[in-house]
Amino acid sequence: MIPSERGLLLRRRLLSGVDMLMSVLATVFAVLFLGWLLWGVVTRGVSALNLALFTESTPGAGIDGGGLANAIVGSFLMTGAGIVLAALIGILAAVWLVEMAPGGALARAIRFFNDVLLAGPSIIAGVFVYGVLVRPMGHFSGWAGAAALAVVALPVVVSTACAALELVPGSLREASAALGAPRWRTTLQVVLRASRSGILTGLLLATARIFGEAAPLLFTSLGNNFFTWNMNQPVAGLPQVLYLFATGPYDNWHQLAWAGALVSTAVVLGLLVIARLVSRHHD
Amino acid sequence: MARVLTGTAELASTPASAPAEVGDRLFGLGTGGFALLVLGLMLAILAFLFAGALPALRQFGWHFFVSSEWNPVSGEFGAASSILGTLATSLVALVVAVPVSFGVAVFLNVLCPHWLRRPVGVAVELLAGIPSVIYGIWGLFVFAPLFADRIQPALTDWFGGLPLVGGLFDGPPIGLGWGVAGFVLGVMVIPFIAAVMRDVLATVPRHLIESAYALGATHREVIWNVLVPSTRRGLAGGIILGLGRALGETMAVTFLVGNAHNVTFSLFEPGNTIASTIANEFSEASGDLHVSVLIALGFTLFAITIVVLSVANAMLRRSARKEAAA
Contact A107 B35 (CB under 8 A): yes
Structural domain includes residue A197: yes
| Mean pLDDT for chain B overall | 87
Q: Distance (Å, rounded) from C-alpha A30 to C-alpha A23?
A: 11
CB contacts, 8 Å: A24 with chain B = 103, 107, 111
Contact A130 B244 (CB under 8 A): no
Mutate to test the interface with B, among A123, A152, A188, A244 (most CBs of B within 10 A): A123
Q: Distance (Å, rounded) from C-alpha B64 to C-alpha B81?
A: 11
Give the CA angle between residues B307, A161, A278 to the nearest 5°: 125
Distances, alpha carbon B137 to alpha carbons A72, A239, B184, B256, B260, in Å: 18, 10, 11, 9, 19
Contact B133 A247 (CB under 8 A): no
CB contacts, 8 Å: A182 with chain B = 17, 20-21, 23-24
Structural domain includes residue A9: no
Question: Please, which pLDDT band fits residue B326 given cuts at 50, 70 and 90?
Answer: low
CB pairs under 8 A between A and B: 273
* Residue in A122, A124, A246 closest to B140 by CB: A246
Note down the domain range covering A273. 51-281
Q: pLDDT for B273-309, tens place per residue?
A: 999 999 999 888 878 899 999 999 999 999 999 999 8
- Nearest residue to A115 via CA among B49, B317, B97, B34: B317
Structural domain includes residue A1: no
* Residue in A24, A121, A178 closest to B248 by CB: A121
The confidence score (pLDDT) of residue A29 equals: 95
Q: Distance (Å, rounded) from C-alpha A43 to C-alpha A66?
A: 20
Question: Which residue is closest to B243 within chain A, CA to CA?
Answer: A119
Contact A242 B26 (CB under 8 A): no
Which long-range contacts link A250-253 to residues 24+ away (Cβ below 8 Å)? Answer: A250/A61, A250/A62, A252/A59, A252/A64, A252/A65, A252/A66, A253/A59
CB contacts, 8 Å: A258 with chain B = 137, 141
Contact B49 A95 (CB under 8 A): no
Contact B218 A40 (CB under 8 A): no
Structural domain includes residue A30: no
Contact B27 A208 (CB under 8 A): no
Contact A119 B31 (CB under 8 A): no
Tens-of-pLDDT digits for all 283 residues of chain A? 566 778 888 888 899 999 999 999 999 999 999 999 999 999 999 988 888 889 888 988 888 888 899 999 999 999 999 999 999 999 999 999 999 888 889 999 999 899 989 888 999 999 999 999 999 998 899 999 999 999 999 999 999 999 999 999 999 999 999 998 988 899 999 999 999 999 999 999 999 999 999 999 998 988 888 888 889 899 999 999 999 999 989 989 999 999 999 999 999 999 999 999 998 765 5
CATH number for A148: 1.10.3720.10
Contact B28 A96 (CB under 8 A): yes
The confidence score (pLDDT) of residue B5 equals: 38
- The overall longest dimension of chain A from CA atoms, in Å, is 85
Of residues B58 and B171, the one with the higher pLDDT is B58
Least Cα separation, residue A123 to chain B (angstroms): 7
Least Cα separation, residue B13 to chain A (angstroms): 12
Mutate to test the interface with B, among A15, A111, A128 (most CBs of B within 10 A): A128
Q: pLDDT for A108-137, tens place per residue?
A: 999 989 998 988 899 999 999 999 999 999
Structural domain includes residue A95: yes
How many other CB atoms sit within 10 Å of the CB of residue A128? 26
Structural domain includes residue A26: no
Q: Coil, strand, or helix at residue A116?
A: helix
Q: pLDDT for B263-280, tens place per residue?
A: 877 888 889 999 999 999
Q: Distance (Å, rounded) from C-alpha A170 to C-alpha A179?
A: 14
Any alpha helices (H) in B147-218, and if so which ranges?
Answer: 152-159, 178-202, 206-214
Total domains in chain A come to: 1
The confidence score (pLDDT) of residue B10 equals: 39
- What contacts A31, CB < 8 A, 6 or more positions away? B120, B123, B124
Least Cα separation, residue B53 to chain A (angstroms): 12
CB contacts, 8 Å: B270 with chain A = none
Structural domain includes residue A76: yes
Question: Please, which pLDDT band fits residue B4 given cuts at 50, 70 and 90?
Answer: very low
Structural domain includes residue A4: no
* Residue in A34, A93, A112 closest to B127 by CB: A34
Contact A120 B305 (CB under 8 A): yes
Contact A27 B298 (CB under 8 A): no
The confidence score (pLDDT) of residue B324 equals: 64
Instruction: For helices A142-167 and B18-60, give the axis angle rounded to 10 degrees.
Output: 130
* Residue in B31, B43, B122 closest to A96 by CB: B31
Least Cα separation, residue B67 to chain A (angstroms): 23
Which segment of A41-55, B7-21, B123-137 scores lowest on mean pLDDT? Answer: B7-21
Residue pair B79/B297 in contact by the 8 Å Cβ criterion: yes
